Chains A and B, each alone.
Chain A
């Protein structure tokens, strides 16, 4: 019950903000009868209607993860965000080994297999992508190896 209500409220506010920013869209001299604002506003309106339905007639709650699992999910998201930032400046191999290892540890907490999975995946995938598929990946930061 509560989950659907909260989600409905969030959607309601997002949709209102969406409509508000849609009204700010500038039209140009190339005018057509509908214009650039109408369709986004229409979408926002449908969304508001549906979110009201969700708020007033919510479904039963899903089973949310326990606190430990929730932390595991949060750690994974943080790791993936860090990985996204690290991929370009630090090359492929080192960030991938860390990210894959930590992800593996989140799925089954065993330090040795996680480390093996991390190093194995990063080198294995690098070989496949670089030498078999010919994608332009950089193994290590350029500054280190000129």
Chain B
């Protein structure tokens, strides 16, 4: 009964008044961030990391606060999807397909409550799955040597690249940009500077937080300037908010199935929440058949992607905590948070710092309940947030990003780099090149190279050592499949387009 013991340890940390307050504050801030059009979990969490770091919270508190924001943003994303037909981030895209038509049919309140309940079910089941699966996977992870880790990192790049782009070459370029940037700075093994161009600013390498905030937040601001705020259409009015018991009851199996699908999609390294909500929606659509009316505003079409999306968010934490390999853009950002707090994710985390892991898991459960309670009666408050015009919101986001990065290092050079990354992110996204592999590359590049070099030290330079264990071979095969298979599945996995008015 390890689990119960561990959970009680976790709850004893998470239920302390201070931590509880942080969790509630995080949920509130997160929901607001999620519901702001243009701010999703990844850029929302990204701009808050530097500030949290400067506040000097201890590791557990900071982690509780930021994961509450993460879960909250996942909840909040549905509000702008349903009322404005603007997904706050990519996973929320699927919710617009049925959420917006349902809201247009005058059932905005029902859609919001139903999606809130579906989010709760998905996130709750995924957290339970995390509790059951993570310790097991942590035990398997002890078998991983440097060769296996190298293959695992490769797998993460391949699947992420395969899933997140329509062109494998483009996602490979994105990964290479990230890995290449990660090489800059002093080499850990030899202590010699690499690729700094002689600049002293580059000796420490490029701070991944600078890159994340630039690529996610600043690039988003540039997109808004390009759009000139034309997305700020006034959405649908929300009248009465009642609890649609009938719809909730009718979709209970949909929620269960979608949570299951979403959770396992989330676990795949590199696949993430977008795949979770997509697969959940598509599964339910094919179960319902053409008579199901998917796309016209049916309850199941709202419940499925929301449960899938939130379950995937929980599932993505499994590889992130046990192996240190994030499953999505947002978990990459959370990994950056862990690295900033000097916590090394991996199997040893479960053995050495159980208070961090189980405190985090317990606060996920608490945050989830808080979010459900917050989101049903208080949904009107969050709807008000949608009224914030982009001409105030986006400059605000920029300034918060600047202050965050500036308070980290106090150097103008990091700010310039951040603007540079913003411009790079804009160009990359314009050319349909995914930016998440860039982040992943910067985060994992050093580890990946170290794994390779340690493997070669162990084998005395024999490259066949990389394929010497069954786990490594399995990972290599999965990596190649993950990179190649989407080329052939592209016609099947064709993403549906947004509903247009």
The distance from the CB of A2 to the nearest CB of chain B, in whole angstroms, is: 11
Name the residue among B399, B400, B416 with the largest chain A CB count within 10 angstroms. B399
Per-position binary interface string of chain B over residues 138-174, scored 1 when its CB falls under 8 Å from any chain A CB and 0 otherwise: 0000000000000000000000000000110110110
Bound: A3/B43 CA distance, A = 27
The distance from the CB of B486 to the nearest CB of chain A, in whole angstroms, is: 15
Residues of B within 8 Å of A84, CB to CB, are 402, 412, 415-416, 418-419
Asked if B291 is at the interface (CB within 8 A of a chain A CB), the reply is no
Bound: A80/B217 CA distance, A = 13
The distance from the CB of B350 to the nearest CB of chain A, in whole angstroms, is: 30
Q: Is the CB of A135 within 8 A of B51?
A: yes
Please, which residue of chain A has its CB at the minimum distance from the CB of B454? Answer: A32
Q: Is the CB of A125 within 8 A of B403?
A: yes
Chain B interfacial residues counted at CB < 8 A: 65
Please, which residue of chain B has its CB at the minimum distance from the CB of A105? Answer: B391
Known contacts A3-B431, A34-B452, A15 near B176 by CB under 8 Å:
yes
Residues of A within 8 Å of B243, CB to CB, are none
Asked if B467 is at the interface (CB within 8 A of a chain A CB), the reply is no
Per-position binary interface string of chain A over residues 58-73, scored 1 when its CB falls under 8 Å from any chain B CB and 0 otherwise: 0100101100010011
Residues of B within 8 Å of A46, CB to CB, are 172, 176
Asked if A9 is at the interface (CB within 8 A of a chain B CB), the reply is no
Q: Is the CB of B192 within 8 A of A33?
A: no
The distance from the CB of B445 to the nearest CB of chain A, in whole angstroms, is: 8
Q: Is the CB of B173 within 8 A of A50?
A: yes
Q: Is the CB of A25 within 8 A of B192?
A: yes
Per-position binary interface string of chain A over residues 99-130, scored 1 when its CB falls under 8 Å from any chain B CB and 0 otherwise: 11101101110100110011011100100010
Residues of B within 8 Å of A35, CB to CB, are 190
Asked if B423 is at the interface (CB within 8 A of a chain A CB), the reply is yes
The distance from the CB of B352 to the nearest CB of chain A, in whole angstroms, is: 27
Bound: A51/B403 CA distance, A = 36
Please, which residue of chain B has its CB at the minimum distance from the CB of A124? Answer: B396
The distance from the CB of B179 to the nearest CB of chain A, in whole angstroms, is: 5
Known contacts A11-B173, A28-B190, A108-B390, A18 near B180 by CB under 8 Å:
yes
Known contacts A25-B195, A28-B192, A69-B226, A100 near B399 by CB under 8 Å:
yes
Bound: A96/B396 CA distance, A = 10
The distance from the CB of B51 to the nearest CB of chain A, in whole angstroms, is: 7
Residues of chain A from 18 to 75 with CB closer than 8 A to chain B in the complex: 18, 21-22, 25-28, 30-36, 39-40, 43-44, 46-47, 49-51, 53-54, 57, 59, 62, 64-65, 69, 72-73
Bound: A22/B170 CA distance, A = 23
Q: Is the CB of B456 within 8 A of A133?
A: no
Per-position binary interface string of chain B over residues 401-429, scored 1 when its CB falls under 8 Å from any chain A CB and 0 otherwise: 01100110010100110110011001100
Asked if A140 is at the interface (CB within 8 A of a chain B CB), the reply is no
Residues of B within 8 Å of A30, CB to CB, are 189-191
The distance from the CB of A13 to the nearest CB of chain B, in whole angstroms, is: 13
Residues of A within 8 Å of B42, CB to CB, are none
The distance from the CB of A47 to the nearest CB of chain B, in whole angstroms, is: 4
Bound: A65/B398 CA distance, A = 21
Asked if B293 is at the interface (CB within 8 A of a chain A CB), the reply is no
Residues of A within 8 Å of B170, CB to CB, are 50, 54, 59
Known contacts A44-B180, A135-B407, A108 near B225 by CB under 8 Å:
no
Bound: A3/B428 CA distance, A = 11
Bound: A69/B223 CA distance, A = 10
Residues of A within 8 Å of B51, CB to CB, are 129, 133, 135
Q: Is the CB of B394 within 8 A of A34?
A: no
Bound: A83/B416 CA distance, A = 9
Q: Is the CB of A100 within 8 A of B396?
A: yes
Residues of B within 8 Å of A18, CB to CB, are 180, 195
Q: Is the CB of A135 within 8 A of B403?
A: yes
Residues of A within 8 Å of B180, CB to CB, are 18, 40, 43-44, 47
Known contacts A107-B229, A125-B400, A135 near B54 by CB under 8 Å:
yes
The distance from the CB of B423 to the nearest CB of chain A, in whole angstroms, is: 6
Q: Is the CB of B224 within 8 A of A43?
A: no
Asked if B457 is at the interface (CB within 8 A of a chain A CB), the reply is yes
Residues of B within 8 Å of A32, CB to CB, are 189, 453, 456-457
Q: Is the CB of B415 within 8 A of A103?
A: no
Known contacts A21-B195, A117-B392, A73 near B398 by CB under 8 Å:
no
Asked if A131 is at the interface (CB within 8 A of a chain B CB), the reply is no
Bound: A133/B50 CA distance, A = 12
Asked if A146 is at the interface (CB within 8 A of a chain B CB), the reply is no
The distance from the CB of A83 to the nearest CB of chain B, in whole angstroms, is: 7
Name the residue among A31, A47, A103 with the largest chain B CB count within 10 angstroms. A103
Residues of B within 8 Å of A103, CB to CB, are 221, 225, 394-395, 398
Asked if A94 is at the interface (CB within 8 A of a chain B CB), the reply is no
Please, which residue of chain B has its CB at the minimum distance from the CB of A118? Answer: B395
Smallest CB-CB A-B distances: 7 pairs: A33-B461, A84-B415, A53-B169, A47-B176, A100-B395, A103-B395, A28-B190
Q: A59-B166, A135-B407 are in contact. List 12 more A-B contacts (CB 8 A).
A: A22-B183, A22-B194, A34-B452, A34-B456, A36-B190, A80-B398, A100-B395, A100-B396, A104-B394, A129-B51, A135-B55, A137-B403
Instruction: Name 24 A/B residue pairs within 8 A (Cβ), A-sorted.
Output: A15-B176, A22-B183, A25-B192, A34-B452, A39-B448, A40-B195, A46-B172, A50-B169, A50-B173, A53-B169, A57-B169, A59-B166, A76-B221, A80-B419, A83-B402, A84-B415, A84-B418, A84-B419, A100-B398, A104-B391, A108-B390, A121-B395, A134-B55, A135-B55
Interface residues of B (CB under 8 A from A): 51, 54-55, 166-167, 169-170, 172-173, 176-177, 179-180, 183, 187, 189-192, 194-195, 197, 218, 221-222, 224-226, 228-229, 389-392, 394-396, 398-400, 402-403, 406-407, 410, 412, 415-416, 418-419, 422-423, 426-427, 430-432, 448-449, 452-453, 456-457, 460-461
